[in-house]
């Protein structure tokens, strides 16, 4: 659990030992590092994310000549990114002012949107990679004949799967402290709260790890199968094989940069609390790594536009056609040189169907 583990160790170490027991524990770390590191990092996430996703929203809504199931799935990623982008400014203000001023209801909604963004981004990128896998490796599978209506139902199913575990978070107050020292963060002290809240914290920790491990395993499987299939069939030259798996590669890079650090620090903090509650040095190390990973976690909102560019030839062409003519010259020459505007994936699928 990203926010839970991050804010636990920075706001409440003076009263809680790493293992969660009462009395003693490591001396407080304070919030100095968090207040210095996170605001500029999150500000960069917001600025880059808004620029990229507003451009993507404009292309999806006004520039695409038509929508296919793949573009519908990618559009859901834009929606997920905006969930984080509207939440992060409140978090930046709270970190800078060292005080949450937006009330209990907004606190619950803020945490809900931030957690849901991570889960939705992971789930939707995984579905996009699986869709690519079936297009290349199983071109005649009925999954490739998915209609736009069916793609909408797939999106609804993904959102239900993502939102359902996060809804209980809205049932509890997450305001800590009083007066001018109140903060909004997900459950800190193990000596506070009900048993239901303890179960909720444990569930979200487990979910933080599982929602990375299983999708990442699927991404690796899809990438390896696509590469192996194309090499076995000897479809095109090696550069075409690389282009065919670029979608999965881009998504894997986003996973590793944005979500792997959160998963590692969550497991690390969990292990130290459970098995080495006296090891303050290790606990502080994972504390600071968690602070950094919190900033990286929302970098996916800035990197997702790369997924749109690499995974949709329609989006890529609409983006290029929207650029000033002076910036399109090189692309136009490259298109002429390759004789045609067919994407690599379309050429490969055409060859497979001919066989």
Burial of 67 (0-12, 13-18, 19+ CB in 10 A): middle
- Alpha carbon 330 to its chain's center: 33
Q: pLDDT tens digits, residue range 93-106?
A: 888 888 888 888 99
Q: What is the pTM of this model?
A: 0.75
Quick one: which of 122, 345, 355 has its CA closest to 241?
A: 345
- Of 85-89, 117-121, 297-301, 308-312, the one with minimum mean pLDDT is 308-312
pLDDT band at 337 (very low <50, low <70, confident <90, very high): very low
Average pLDDT, the chain: 74
pLDDT band at 194 (very low <50, low <70, confident <90, very high): low
**Is the pLDDT score of 80 beyond 60?**
yes
Q: Give residue 32's pLDDT.
A: 56
The single-letter DSSP state of residue 28 is P
Which of 194-209 are b and which e, b meaning 16 or more Cβ less than 10 Å from the residue's Cβ? eeebeebbeebbebbb
Q: pLDDT tens digits, residue range 300-336?
A: 888 888 887 777 777 778 777 777 666 555 544 444 4
Largest CA distance in the chain: 73
Q: Give residue 242's pLDDT.
A: 64
Please tell me which residue, 12 or 286, carries the higher pLDDT value: 286
Distance between CA atoms of 114 and 205, rounded to whole angstroms? 15
Distance between CA atoms of 205 and 203, rounded to whole angstroms? 5
Asked if 303 and 43 count as a contact pair (C-beta separation under 8 A), the reply is: no
**Tokens matching residue 49:** 């994310």
Q: Give residue 159's pLDDT.
A: 93
Which secondary structure element, helix H or strand E, spans residue 52, and what is its range? helix 32-58
CATH topology classification for 2-323+335-348:
Rhopdopsin 7-helix transmembrane proteins (1.20.1070)
- According to DSSP, the residues that pair with 183 across neighbouring strands are 176
Q: pLDDT tens digits, residue range 212-248?
A: 899 889 988 888 888 777 777 655 556 655 666 777 7
Please tell me which residue, 296 or 243, carries the higher pLDDT value: 296
**Is the pLDDT score of 74 beyond 70?**
yes
Asked if 151 and 69 count as a contact pair (C-beta separation under 8 A), the reply is: yes
Q: Could you tell me the residue ranges of all domains in the chain?
A: 2-323+335-348
**Is the pLDDT score of 90 beyond 50?**
yes
Distance between CA atoms of 4 and 197, rounded to whole angstroms? 12
Ramachandran area for residue 192 (φ above 0: left; ψ -120 to 50: alpha; else beta) = beta
- Residues 200-211, mean pLDDT to the nearest whole number: 81
- According to DSSP, the residues that pair with 198 across neighbouring strands are none
- According to DSSP, the residues that pair with 175 across neighbouring strands are 184
Q: Give residue 9's pLDDT.
A: 38
Q: Give residue 30's pLDDT.
A: 46
Quick one: which of 92, 75, 82, 111 has its CA closest to 41?
A: 92
Give the Cβ contact number of residue 234 at 10 Å.
8
Q: pLDDT tens digits, residue range 135-171?
A: 878 877 777 778 888 888 988 999 999 999 888 888 8
């Amino acid at each position: 659990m990203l926010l839970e583990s991050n804010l636990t160790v920075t706001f409440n170490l003076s009263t809680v030992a790493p293992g969660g027991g009462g009395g003693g524990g490591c001396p407080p770390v304070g919030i100095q590092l968090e207040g210095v590191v996170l605001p500029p990092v999150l500000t960069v996430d917001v600025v880059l994310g808004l620029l990229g996703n507003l451009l993507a929203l404009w292309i999806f809504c006004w520039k695409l000549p038509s929508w296919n199931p793949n573009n519908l799935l990618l559009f859901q990623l834009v929606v997920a990114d905006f969930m984080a982008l509207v939440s992060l400014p409140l978090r930046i203000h709270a970190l800078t002012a060292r005080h949450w001023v937006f009330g209990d209801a907004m606190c619950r909604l803020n945490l809900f949107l931030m957690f849901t963004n991570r889960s939705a981004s992971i789930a939707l990128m995984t579905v996009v990679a699986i869709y690519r896998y079936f297009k290349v490796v199983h071109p005649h599978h009925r999954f490739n004949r998915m209609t736009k209506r069916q793609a909408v139902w797939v999106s609804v199913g993904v959102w239900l799967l993502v939102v359902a575990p996060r809804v209980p978070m809205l049932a509890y107050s997450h305001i800590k402290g009083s007066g001018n020292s109140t903060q909004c963060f997900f459950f800190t002290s193990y000596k506070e709260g009900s048993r239901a809240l303890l179960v909720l914290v444990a569930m979200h920790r487990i979910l933080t790890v599982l929602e990375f491990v299983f999708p990442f395993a699927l991404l690796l499987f899809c990438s390896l199968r696509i590469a192996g299939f194309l090499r076995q069939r000897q479809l095109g030259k090696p550069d075409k094989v690389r282009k065919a798996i670029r979608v999965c590669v881009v998504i894997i890079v986003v996973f590793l940069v944005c979500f792997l650090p959160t998963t590692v620090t969550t497991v690390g903090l969990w292990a130290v609390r459970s098995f080495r509650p006296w090891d303050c040095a290790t606990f502080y190390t994972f504390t600071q790594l968690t602070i950094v990973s919190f900033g990286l976690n929302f970098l996916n909102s800035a990197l997702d536009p790369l997924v749109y560019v690499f995974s949709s030839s329609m989006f890529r062409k609409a983006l290029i056609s929207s650029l000033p003519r002076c910036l399109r010259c090189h692309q136009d020459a490259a298109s002429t040189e390759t004789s045609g505007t067919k994407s690599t994936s379309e050429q490969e699928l055409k060859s497979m169907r001919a066989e």
